[in-house]
Amino acid sequence: MAGISYLDDHRTWVLTGAATTYALRLDEDDVPTHVYWGPRLSPPEVVELTGKTLPRWDGFNDPNEGLDELAADGGTRYWTPALQLRFADGTRGLEWRYETHASTGGHLAISFTDRHYPVRLTLHYRFRGDVLERWTELSADTDVEVARADSATWVLPVLEDYRLSHATGRWAAETQLRREAVPHGETVFGSRRGITSHHANPWVMVDDGTATERHGEVYGVALAWSGSWRLTTTRASTGRLTISGGFGQDGVVHLVGPGKPLTTPVAAGLCTDGGFGAASRAWHAYVREHVLPHPGELRPVLYNSWEATGFEVSEAGQRALAERAAALGVELFVLDDGWFGARTGDHAGLGDWHVNRERFPDGLQPLVDAVHALGMKFGLWVEPEMVNPDSDLYRAHPDWVLHHAHRRRSELRNQLVLDFARPEVAAWAHGWLDRLVGDHGVDFLKWDMNRPFSEAGRPGEADQDRVWVEHTRAVYAILDRLRADHPGLRVEACSGGGGRLDLGVLARTDQVWPSDNTDALDRLRIQHGYSQLYPARAMSAWVTDNPNFVTGRSVPRRFRFHVAMAGVLGLGGDIARWPEADLAFAREMIALYRDIRPVVQHGALHRLRPPDGDGLVALQYVLGDRSVVLAYRQAAHFAEPDRLLRLDGLDPADRYLNPDSGATHSGAVLLAHGLRLGLPTGDFASTVIRLERIPR
């Protein structure tokens, strides 16, 4: 049974999840110290692991180093600090003094103060299934400089070796999975861009180097934060490894004082002994059940007009696209850029969020009504955090952008970043978004952000570094308020593709745009890295035109559809120009996707063959009595015959029907021997196979 126990005689807390236990204690100096994280143990069993602090080996080596629950700077503690404080008199560090603790509804809060200075610190813990959420609160009666405030330090058990899994990339090549040995010393992953970034994603997983999809211990940590962040692994010669993570970056200092508390984002941790596949399925379940705002929903098939029209938008053109999309079975029509202000290109208009009357003479309402009459929801692209210097907003409020005195205002994509940490800017943004959604009956917003921070300051402000935190918090607050005031509104997060993909933004949106690269071959790798932590239920995936606008590659339509069907299916091509054969095929594929959608979006994912090399890639989703297999042959070499594909997640005692072929299969045979895929010949071959459990 899940719960929290406090062992008073040992000053130890034991938190129990569905199949996991986490324990910490207070040492003789009141320092919160890690005891255990791993498979489930009872409180009496945890007691066997607790003990007194060990004496130092010598003047240079401490056997307790790296065991702190939140590694605070100070004294003879030399581990990678998760907390760094400097007081007004120049004193640095923290000396812990335990005050009290409280546990309610599965939430444990342990409160401390400094032994001399009026600083209060609370460590928070909460299990969601087998994912443990941790965060920290700081407050003070006088101003204190906080150079680093991580959410948690995670102490891993001593393993034979350590291997690190993480995602890296760039624009149009996000979430590329990497696996490599953990170096000794400190290894830092992060973003200094004010957004999550395309270049790294805020999670890491660690195993002993032998874990596979199906077997082995895996430990993972992920941050729920959409601004600048860092995760640091520290590996000592003693064999100890920790992961410390939180928001912020080197050189950014926050002031904590009266009326200025600091609460860190959630750092979530997970361990499993079922390999990377079990780890991913646990993360997916956590996101679906405890992170996403509407976890039980099915995400609709959408059409986005960007690739069809670019900035050449007109009411008549959008109506024509909407009519064709509805005829294909699309459920959500999204008007992308070019509908507002002087937005005829990316050089002007951002910030002037009023309908362009030359393009929409009677405003947006006629188009919205037409889309609704066709039986679809209506969505709009917006980029609230940005402004073009060539805009009425910038001419009226040049001080609203991030900038430093006596420094140039760097432009990227002809844009500057608005300072959402300013209350008047956040109020302005909420005001026009609220009117846009409420006055027009908008059902869906694609919230984009097409550049990172630069010159992140505000002249005249004493605590300018708070913008790195408060901007993101303001974005969260606006999204939270919009959703509360408009319960039917759904949101997709985008930042030039996958630049804002994390647990923090997923708590306020319904899906994310993982990459501007819709090339189906590249998407196999992008979606593979994405799936390590995030579920298909939140992954927007489009079918676009040949050749692909990013890569120039042409891929068969069947392959493009099947790859996009591994997530939330959407169309992004110029369907007004599609020949009837392509339209008929699209109708068929959308109907198929709508049938398998519950299994894909809410089922358990089994990665059967990863996109290594250029051979077969295969995924399987299982939900209740149904299973869906998606298989892709990237390239065929030497006319080699297809091998059987062993499935997973089925009951060996049951039989399964393929409703398309009429064939039945033994679950035991599918698991131990495999399924013949029957892929077409040649490169870019793909198939979708549906299986249904036959009632006994």
Binding site for substrate: what residues are annotated?
171, 336-337, 413, 446-450, 494, 516
Secondary-structure percent of the chain, ordered helix, strand, coil, rounded to 5: 25, 35, 45
Q: How far apart are the C-alpha atoms of 239 and 233, rounded to whole Å?
A: 13
Burial of 42 (0-12, 13-18, 19+ CB in 10 A): exposed
Is residue 315 within 8 A of residue 359, CB to CB? The reply is yes
Among candidate residues 207, 419, 516, 519, the one labeled active-site is: 516
Is residue 632 within 8 A of residue 616, CB to CB? The reply is yes
Rg of the Cα trace of the chain?
A: 26
Tokens of 580: 């009837």
Among candidate residues 448, 465, 502, 519, the one labeled active-site is: 448
Q: How far apart are the C-alpha atoms of 522 and 607, rounded to whole Å?
A: 17
Q: Confirm whether 130 is a catalytic residue.
A: no
Tokens of 300: 């609709």
**H or E segment to which residue 36 belongs:** strand 32-39
Phi, psi (deg, nearest 5) at residue 387: -145, 140
Residue 280, SS3 per DSSP? helix
Handedness of CA 400, 406, 411, 414 (dihedral sign): positive
Q: How many CB atoms lie within 10 A of CB 9?
A: 7
On the CB side of 475, CA atoms within 13 Å amount to 30
Phi, psi (deg, nearest 5) at residue 466: -65, -15
Using DSSP bridges, classify how beta strands 3-7 and 12-16 pair: parallel, antiparallel or unpaired: antiparallel
Residue ranges of the binding site: 171, 336-337, 413, 446-450, 494, 516
Q: Confirm whether 8 is a catalytic residue.
A: no
Q: How far apart are the C-alpha atoms of 16 and 283, rounded to whole Å?
A: 17
Q: Which residues does the annotation mark as catalytic? A: 448, 516
